[in-house]
């Protein structure tokens, strides 16, 4: 699945270079459920963004199934993400003037599916998320947990093999957190690869492997007792 070799990423702040990420070799297997852990500013979101083809490293190679992600043109890389990856964000990124169903239809519209297929697929996914009675509700009419479930449904619209989640439980109450984590477990059980950035110790324990970052350096662990930082 993911293979990183000699990857580094630096930022310039006030004329000084800051190392955000450095790893000599990192692999995440197909079908894995990995949690990225570490203190704030350690490089977790940088790593997730590089894996998702959204942030070019300064050096090194990033491959998905042997395909070099950053040797693609930006247009092809965007198509690759749309075909294979789904993203879950802490802030949901729902379009406020669209209904729940219309928000889920966005990726389907972008791939050119017919309106009828868009409605059928989005309705099916929202029903799976327990939101069959909320299809016509806009984000402001939904609870925080319901908004996250709409975002999850949208993530699955194009049936991605890879789900990248950035603090997916960060703004949720305990009941909503459990629903989201149970759903990620289901996706992993279907054979999808899950990579999740989290500070949530409960969420981290759902993973099967852990990537711990300290000052941009990645350390891979298979210790089931690992805790989120």
Q: pLDDT tens for residues 191-217?
A: 999 999 998 888 999 999 999 988 888
Q: Residue 12: inside a domain, yes or no?
A: no
Cα–Cα distance for residue pair 149/222, rounded to 1 Å: 29
CATH code at position 201 = 3.40.50.300
User: With bands split at pLDDT 50, 70 and 90, how would you rate the model's confidence at 90?
Assistant: confident
Q: Residue 77: inside a domain, yes or no?
A: no
Parallel, antiparallel, or unpaired: how do β-strands 209-214 and 59-64 relate?
unpaired
Cα–Cα distance for residue pair 84/8, rounded to 1 Å: 24
Q: Which residue range(s) make up the domain with 172?
A: 32-57+82-221
**Start-to-end CA span in the chain (Å):** 26
Q: Is 165 helix (H, G, I), strand (E, B) or coil?
A: strand
Q: Residue 142: inside a domain, yes or no?
A: yes
Q: Three-state SS string across 10-41, please?
A: EEEECCEEEEEEEEEEEEECCCCEEEEECCCC
Residue 26: how many other CB atoms lie within 10 Å:
18
From 35, 24, 25, 21, select the one nearest 2 (Cα to Cα).
25
The pLDDT of residue 121: 96
Cα–Cα distance for residue pair 223/86, rounded to 1 Å: 27
Q: What pTM does this model have? A: 0.89
Structure tokens belonging to residue 31: 């079908």
From 8, 154, 138, select the one nearest 70 (Cα to Cα).
8
Q: Residue 124: inside a domain, yes or no?
A: yes
Q: Residue 71: inside a domain, yes or no?
A: no
Q: Residue 158: inside a domain, yes or no?
A: yes
Give the chain's domain count: 1
Structure tokens belonging to residue 73: 């043109």
User: With bands split at pLDDT 50, 70 and 90, how would you rate the model's confidence at 229?
Assistant: very low
Cα–Cα distance for residue pair 34/221, rounded to 1 Å: 10
The pLDDT of residue 170: 84
From 144, 197, 132, select the one nearest 166 (Cα to Cα).
197
Separation in Å, CA 13 to CA 39, 58, 137, 176, 187: 20, 15, 43, 38, 39
């Amino acid at each position: 699945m993911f293979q990183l070799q000699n990857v580094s990423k630096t930022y310039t702040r006030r004329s000084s270079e800051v190392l955000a990420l450095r790893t000599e070799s990192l692999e995440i297997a197909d079908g894995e459920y990995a949690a990225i852990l570490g203190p704030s500013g350690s490089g977790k979101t940088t790593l997730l963004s590089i894996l998702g083809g959204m942030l070019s490293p300064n050096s090194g190679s990033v491959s998905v199934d042997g395909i070099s992600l950053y040797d693609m043109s930006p247009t092809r890389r965007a198509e690759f993400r749309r075909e294979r990856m789904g993203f879950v964000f802490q802030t949901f990124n729902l379009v406020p003037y669209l209904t729940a169903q219309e928000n889920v239809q966005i990726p389907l519209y972008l791939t050119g599916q017919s309106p009828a297929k868009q409605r059928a697929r989005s309705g099916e996914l929202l029903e799976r998320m327990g939101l069959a009675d909320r299809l016509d509700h806009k984000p402001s009419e939904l609870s925080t947990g319901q908004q996250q479930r709409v975002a999850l449904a949208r993530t699955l619209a194009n049936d991605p093999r890879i789900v990248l989640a950035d603090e997916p439980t960060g703004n949720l109450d305990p009941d909503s957190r459990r629903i989201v984590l149970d759903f990620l477990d289901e996706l992993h059980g279907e054979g999808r690869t899950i990579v999740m950035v989290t500070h949530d110790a409960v969420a981290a324990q759902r993973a099967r492997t852990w990537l711990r970052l300290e000052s941009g350096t990645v350390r891979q662990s298979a210790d089931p007792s690992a805790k989120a930082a």
